[in-house]
Amino acid sequence: MFGFFYYDWTILIVLPAMILAMWAQFKVKSTFSQYSKTRTRAGLTGAMAARRLLDSNGLYDVNISMTPGELTDHYNPKDKTLYLSKTVHDSNSAAAIGVACHEAGHALQDAKAYAPLKLRMGMVPVCNFGSSLAMPLFLIGLFINPELGWGFMLAGIACFSLATFFQLVTLPVEFNASRRAMEGMRDCGILYEDELSDARRVLSAAAMTYVAALATSLLSLLRLIVIANRHRD
């Protein structure tokens, strides 16, 4: 038998990505906190800035609502609503405006049928289903006869790879939303040039969390493959 799945040396494969993920989370929180103290000269709140960006692109039907939590901001394409946390919705800092306009960038993607966003949206139910099956299938294969278990483990790896592909598709979606946000904040006069630099730092820090998520998923997938091969041998 291979041994304890969560306590063998293959955890070292994922360790670099886990460290990167922890660093990315720390970086985004500390960067947001730093630039949350900087009030912008135009005096717009995050909600007001997002509204200006949306209206300038004719997206009058997209709503803006407050959502509980910290950095829980997101765009829901199903109800065409930006959900902004209180620290973003009501703040007139460069950090808040950057995050709010990033979410508005997703609404712009939706309106223009941006292909990677459409692909990611279409993958959600499949990835959720695959993710729920991945580890049960893999563990069944790990703890039964190697010849029979190999098929279960391959099925688990295939399901897990769907989640990895989802993370891969997420990267261009997030980077493109930030690019649209930066262009919109400049074109709509939401932020001055020096303030745009502050917002860019916040969005760059946030982007690293998606890079870390992809790295974690890729290395976790590699770990499963290594375990499966050892179990088969």
- Please report the pLDDT score of residue 233 as a whole number: 64
State how far the Cα of 138 lies from the Cα of 155, in Å rounded to an integer.
7
Q: In the chain, how many domains are there?
A: 1
Tell me the pTM.
0.89
- Is the four-CA dihedral 6, 10, 14, 16 of positive or negative sign? positive
Bridge partners, residue 83, by sequence: 65, 74
Is residue 103 flagged as an active site residue? yes
* Average pLDDT value for residue range 95-118: 97
Q: Which helix (H) or strand (E) holds 126?
A: helix 115-142
Q: Which of 70, 103, 147, 195 is catalytic?
A: 103
Structural domain including 58 reads 5-232
**Confidence (pLDDT) at 93:** 96
Separation CA 202–CA 132 (nearest Å): 33
Q: Is the pLDDT of residue 4 over 50?
A: no
Least reliable range by pLDDT among 77-81, 146-150, 157-161: 146-150
Which among 106, 112, 99 is positioned nearest to 190, based on CA atoms? 99
If we measure between CA atoms, which residue out of 156, 85, 163 comes closest to residue 123? 163
Give the residue-averaged pLDDT of 96-118.
97
